[in-house]
Structure 1
């Protein structure tokens, strides 16, 4: 096949346009000013690399850069979840295992590992008093001190109820299975492979100090910074905008040195519904899910006394953003970061990949393409890469799914209603195609056509008719 020469494809994005950079800076300037942050630093990732970072501060002539540490609070949970998924991928545990199998002796041993990751184990949101975020971890030296006398508030698996103690249990699970402290596993298995040299359990200079901003006056109060002890896997970490950009790129694409793209995608898949009253969120496995500005986002927010942080990834746009501030609660970091993603995605939309024909085609597969009917509803079957197929309704509503080819000649659903279901071709004795079977649903070439034996319950022998 020959073709005329064509214009070169657009070059990969390198830097943001000046107008986009100004819009980003304006957004963080508004946030720092109106929400009264002592300092705020933000950054944007596009197609896996940091393309912008800037900051605003209350100190004239001195602004933090992307290498200044802030405490990131519950973003720590996503790191802990990665460690747990690594154990699963190595075959050392199953997500459906009860915690008791690997970490015996706790009051939450009946909850599964998946339930703990998704905050559906029914555990309390916090530890018993005193407030764990403002007190040293030495006050809770044992897991029983973290869980308290009433650790279970809800039946396991029935309700999404965010639980900080649940991630303490997961950190202890990592230690029990790995045989090393959580901090050591974190450093060796995530921080070092991803090059997160400025992420640590204790602050390293340069780092921001944590502040509370008075709600009714422009005055400050320093916040304590405690070592959280057993609660560290729920919120201990300090990090930088630059390091979190690298982590955001990992959450989008995976990294085989740490966790495969398939396992990271599982983390981003909803495992728990939104809480009552929150119709824009959900939770995967250690990853918060949100729908802001018309976009599906995955990541996590975090806060500890003196600090707020947020990281969101938009897979559809190839854009992620992070923001860090050193104020206890005044800065709406999650909203800010979703706005940063929106600004870039709308000002400089992603180029679609060029259309290219398949490298080769199987004639038998090609013969399966085209219209198929489920009852009277019309669907279209088309080929995708690697001998996969997609089945989509043609007009009106319906259930669309992509399917991955299996070695036995069937396909497995990848998404939507048919995720995990099997699609197979049913042939007549002479080898010709009779119909498609999708999880017992029959798809025929004609709506209730002559292949009556394929349709459960049969078809009226008189066929189609008028009134």
Structure 2
């Protein structure tokens, strides 16, 4: 995070306003409000259109729909990090008595459990939750529509189950858990289950005439974890900063990064999008965005973040259909990223370093492929390929080893091997042998080394 907040250039601000205005006009939205976050702070907030005769501002509530799922995922991952459950646990282990008890917690988060997309009966988004008083009403008689784990199939009832899981494990309503564990620490005082004035009215816009029809704003009951929340652009700007940097009061940055890792197979027809743990993923012009879109009758919303750019963008509108909030938010983020590329923080030497880590620093080779291993300021190690290959970030483990936390080597163990004199001879990372010289004959390279050694062509 930059120590000195820098305002956007006037040309950038005008480009953002232009994109917001054209989006509102093309989408025929009664109102749209948006924000851009850079280095953890809002650097632009603006609205277009009106709500009750006024241009919307950062304090006006809109319904955020499925962005609620990302909040719910944070609650579940807090339980995982506390050791209260594992992502591989079947739901029945913590929430018995449902028709989806064999689904794992992780599969529910990633929408790979194969459950139905919507609750049976009247459209749950426009009807009161009293019509679905029990989880059996949310799932119906045959909730399984795909074999578990085979494909990504978005399931709103799956997140209703996760909300019930949080409530059972915590012994408190999931909304109260959310308020105490996430909203209050992050200062999100205007994010609530039910609307609190000032808030926008949700509208349907007639497709062929410029007239409006009010949409119902119901309490969806047990389905609320799938899309109930109301929020403001200011609060979601705070949440987007959290999705970039994490916050130890809520969730460790490494766990937030795990939310962004693909956890379900992409559809063959849409290889640029994916899903992590409660977060949608989008690759756009070489930039990986993560966050979530949301919609409920009368409302659309989107949050995208790009940690590499330290940027986030939020869009909220009060109409049922017509405004592509996800596209608009991605455009706003890209506008800033391209017009004002991120300025890196100054290089600084490590405040301290373990001498044994210095023994590991420097070039290593997997076969002939060069890598570099660097100690990091947070005590982790960074293994980077120099000519294409599989790198990873490694965290120290309690037994003196290291564990990969991302990429191909996530979860794999790195063991530092020393010779009889105590000198580091090679590294073993999940059976990949890294040596100080390409195919070092002194190291136990799998398959051995040709006795003739390196030869001229």
Q: Indicate the TM-score class for this superposition, using the shorter chain for normalisation.
A: over 0.9
Aligned to 1:5: none
* Match 1:443 to one of 423, 434, 445: 434
Q: Does 1:109 align with 2:101?
A: yes
Q: How far off is 1:86 after superposition?
A: 2.1
Q: How far off is 1:427 after superposition?
A: 2.4
Aligned to 2:324: 332
Aligned to 2:408: 417
Q: How far off is 1:361 after superposition?
A: 5.1
Q: How far off is 1:159 after superposition?
A: 1.4
* Match 1:49 to one of 35, 41, 49: 41
- Whole-angstrom CA distance in 2 between matches of 1:39 and 1:358: 49
SS in 2 for 1:204: coil
Q: How far off is 1:408 after superposition?
A: 4.6
Label 1:102 to 1:357 Cα distance change in 2 as closer, same or farther (>3 A).
same
**Which stretches in structure 1 are left out of the alignment for 5+ residues?**
1-9
Q: How far off is 1:58 after superposition?
A: 5.5
SS in 1 for 2:309: coil
Q: How far off is 1:279 after superposition?
A: 1.4
**Which stretches in structure 2 are left out of the alignment for 5+ residues?**
none
SS in 2 for 1:145: helix
Label 1:269 to 1:80 Cα distance change in 2 as closer, same or farther (>3 A).
same
* Match 1:69 to one of 51, 55, 61: 61
Q: How far off is 1:164 after superposition?
A: 0.3
Label 1:464 to 1:314 Cα distance change in 2 as closer, same or farther (>3 A).
closer
- Whole-angstrom CA distance in 1 between matches of 2:75 and 2:197: 26
- Whole-angstrom CA distance in 2 between matches of 1:266 and 1:421: 15
Q: Does 1:298 align with 2:290?
A: yes
Bigger mean CA offset, 24-33 vs 346-355:
346-355
- Whole-angstrom CA distance in 1 between matches of 2:18 and 2:175: 38
Deviations 1:252-305 (A, max 9, x none): 222233222232222222211323322122112111111224321111110011
Label 1:459 to 1:249 Cα distance change in 2 as closer, same or farther (>3 A).
closer
- Whole-angstrom CA distance in 2 between matches of 1:204 and 1:196: 13
Deviations 1:125-184 (A, max 9, x none): 001121111111111111111101110111222211100000111111111112222222
Label 1:381 to 1:152 Cα distance change in 2 as closer, same or farther (>3 A).
same
Q: Does 1:345 align with 2:337?
A: yes
- Whole-angstrom CA distance in 2 between matches of 1:294 and 1:448: 34
SS in 2 for 1:298: strand
Q: How far off is 1:465 after superposition?
A: 4.3
Normalization by structure 1: what TM-score? Answer: 0.91
- Whole-angstrom CA distance in 2 between matches of 1:141 and 1:322: 33
Label 1:378 to 1:58 Cα distance change in 2 as closer, same or farther (>3 A).
closer
Q: Does 1:456 align with 2:446?
A: yes
Judge conservation of contact 2:288–2:306 (CA < 8 Å) in 1. yes
Judge conservation of contact 1:45–1:52 (CA < 8 Å) in 2. yes
Q: How far off is 1:24 after superposition?
A: 0.9
* Match 1:91 to one of 83, 86, 89: 83
Bigger mean CA offset, 50-59 vs 356-365:
356-365
SS in 2 for 1:256: coil
Normalization by structure 2: what TM-score? Answer: 0.93
Judge conservation of contact 2:441–2:448 (CA < 8 Å) in 1. no
Q: How far off is 1:391 after superposition?
A: 3.2
* Match 1:216 to one of 185, 190, 208: 208
Aligned to 1:4: none
Label 1:73 to 1:440 Cα distance change in 2 as closer, same or farther (>3 A).
same
- Whole-angstrom CA distance in 2 between matches of 1:188 and 1:384: 33
- Whole-angstrom CA distance in 2 between matches of 1:92 and 1:280: 34
Judge conservation of contact 2:51–2:200 (CA < 8 Å) in 1. no
Aligned to 1:426: 417
SS in 1 for 2:308: coil
- Whole-angstrom CA distance in 2 between matches of 1:76 and 1:59: 23
CA RMSD of aligned residues (A): 2.3
Q: How far off is 1:366 after superposition?
A: 3.7
- Whole-angstrom CA distance in 2 between matches of 1:319 and 1:250: 11
- Whole-angstrom CA distance in 2 between matches of 1:423 and 1:107: 41
Label 1:92 to 1:434 Cα distance change in 2 as closer, same or farther (>3 A).
closer
Larger C-alpha radius of gyration, 1 or 2? 1
Q: Does 1:195 align with 2:187?
A: yes
Q: Does 1:319 align with 2:311?
A: yes
Bigger mean CA offset, 438-447 vs 243-252:
438-447
Label 1:220 to 1:383 Cα distance change in 2 as closer, same or farther (>3 A).
same
SS in 2 for 1:202: coil
**5 Å matches for 1:7-18?**
12-18=4-10
Q: How far off is 1:415 after superposition?
A: 2.4
